[in-house]
Structure formats: C-alpha cells, structure tokens
Amino acid sequence: MEALSLGASDFIQKPSGSVSVDIHTVHDTLIPMLFGYGGAYRRSQGKKVLSPDEYTQKPPAAQLQDLNAYFRPSPLPAAAPAKAPAQLRKPGKVEIIAIGISTGGPDALRVVFSGLDKDLTVPIVVVQHMPPGFTNEVAKSLDRICPMKVKEAEDGDAVEKGRILIAQGNKHMEVERKGAGAVVRLSETPLVSGHRPSADVLFASVAMTYENHALGVIMTGMGRDGAAQLGTIYKEGGLTLGQDEKSAVVYGMPRVAWELGHVMEQVPLEKMAQRICDLSKK
C-alpha cells in the first residue's frame, strides 16, 4: 500500500506455498498487466501500441486469443456504440453511486476519491478486482485521502450517506433494501463474468434496488465485467459514465460498455470526480 501511494502502478500476489501449484496464475495476471501498463506508457509518449504478438514470439493460440481480446492496436478506433436501450423511466435524484474497476484501479481510485467534493454525501459502493486480504488495506489508504469515509465492506453494512464501501476480495457484493435504508450483502457464490467480486453482480443489484436513483460508473479494466449490467442501471432510468480510452490503463471494460450503448458519457480520469459530483447533486 505504501508503494502504491508512492507511485507504483499496481501489484500482483506471489505464488503460495512451498510448492507453487498456482504459479500459472502469475503468468495469467502478469502478461496482460504488462501489456496494459506498457501500452498506456507508449500512448503517453505518442508511440504506437503494439499487439502482443508484435512484442514476443507468438504464444499458444488460446493465450493469444485471450490477449487479443484484451488489447487491440491503438490505431483501431472504438466501434460506434450500439443504440442505447430504452429507459423505463426518467432519471431521478441520485441516491447511490456504484463503481466497477479493475486493472489500473488503485491509482485511478486515488485520483477520483481525492477529488470528490467535501459536501458530497451520496453513498458509494465499489467493486475493485483484487485478491482477498488486500481490499482492507486499500480501503484504509484511500480513507486517508478522501473526504468521505472509506472502508472494506462487511456483510450487513449499512449503505449510508458520506460512506464508501469497497467489496472484499473473493466475495460478491450486492445491495438490498432493509427497512427505510439499504445494506450490502457479501457472498461466495460462483464467479460472474470471470470475477468475484463482480461489477456485474453489484450493478444488477443496484439497478434492482435503486431503479432510476443510481449512478453507475465503469472504469479501467481488462475484459468485460460490469459492461452488461451497467445497461440494466441505464434501462431502469439511472445515469451511467465510462472512463475514456485515453486515460484508461486498459480500455477493456469501459470499451465494451460503450460499444453496447450502455455508457451515456465518456469522461477522462482527471474529470471523473467532478462529473460524479455534478450529477449527484442535481
């Protein structure tokens, strides 16, 4: 956590045990992460972002297929978004903000949370893809720079004004009504969209519970988690934002959401906090 606060981009978990039967997970995590951050750096230098097979010898077909799904050469523009789904009702006053984020997330959340207005009181729930055991420390580090209270979510925690709840690693997080308010529920049900916690799970529950009083935000990350159910927030009458390609370390999750027509507005990272505040105070 100290390394992240001093400028480290991300981290991976080392293999466990004296005989590392899970060492393949380092391979599966490290290669896409290197392409993601390397590509972001090359873009910042005005250089071409190469596809994975242009960097190294061609990997096995399955690996190449996976990597190409995550990273496309930068000259390829994002596809035109599909027609947005019809909304069941008009947007209402924002009562909850839900964020889904993955690779590049720790730094991006620092930028967003440190930039939130001091008078913002709308509760925020976050799914950040991260191994178990780390989300508590991430929450503590973000709490030190954010005007709102940030904590790792526990089952039954109230969704209350002025507080940000971050899903625990390896546990899905949903919101549900309880009395006049709402609480979060954690579970270890099967992976969704390849992840636990899953942004799709969170977004679906937010859409069901808050209907047109929700703001969904999808940010930097590999794959497509959150893209489908962000559309459910939109269909219910909620508002949706997506991080733009230029500022995303990996333009995967927000790209898919945009191409599905589920993102109302693409926003650069440096302007995301203010845009969230503006929409939440209407």
CATH number of the domain where residue 265 is located = 3.40.50.180
Whether 59 is covered by a domain: the verdict is yes
Closest CA to 66 of 98, 96, 24: 24
Residues 50 and 127 in one domain: no
> Is the pLDDT reported for residue 74 higher than 50?
no
Residues 241 and 103 in one domain: yes
Whether 8 is covered by a domain: the verdict is no
Whether 245 is covered by a domain: the verdict is yes
Whether 15 is covered by a domain: the verdict is no
Q: Across the chain, what does the average pLDDT equal?
A: 87
Residues 29 and 152 in one domain: no
Residues 59 and 161 in one domain: no
Residues 40 and 124 in one domain: no
Closest CA to 229 of 249, 257, 251: 257
pLDDT score recorded for residue 271: 98
Residues 124 and 240 in one domain: yes
Distance between CA 92 and CA 120 in Å, rounded?
17
Distance between CA 157 and CA 137 in Å, rounded?
18
- The number of angstroms, rounded, from the C-alpha of 231 to the middle of its chain's C-alpha atoms is 15
Q: Tell me how far CA of residue 113 lies from CA of 1, 108, 262, in angstroms.
A: 16, 9, 24
Residues 70 and 144 in one domain: no
Whether 11 is covered by a domain: the verdict is no
Whether 244 is covered by a domain: the verdict is yes
Residues 114 and 194 in one domain: yes
Give tens-digit pLDDT for 108-146. 999 999 999 999 999 999 999 988 888 999 999 999 999
Say which residue the tokens 């990272």 belong to. 269
Active site residues: 102, 129, 225
pLDDT score recorded for residue 173: 98
Q: In sequence order, which residues have a C-beta less than 8 Å from that of residue 71 and are 6 or more positions away?
A: 32, 35, 36, 39, 49, 51, 52, 250
Whether 209 is covered by a domain: the verdict is yes
Residues 47 and 122 in one domain: no
Which domain covers residue 64, as residue numbers?
A: 22-74
Whether 5 is covered by a domain: the verdict is no
pLDDT score recorded for residue 73: 42
Total domain count, the chain? 2
pLDDT score recorded for residue 88: 92
Cα three-residue angle 212-215-218, rounded to 5 degrees: 135
Residues 66 and 116 in one domain: no
pLDDT score recorded for residue 131: 85
Residues 136 and 276 in one domain: yes
Distance between CA 218 and CA 100 in Å, rounded?
5
Residues 226 and 258 in one domain: yes
Give tens-digit pLDDT for 2-55. 787 777 878 887 776 666 666 777 777 787 778 778 877 787 788 877 665 555
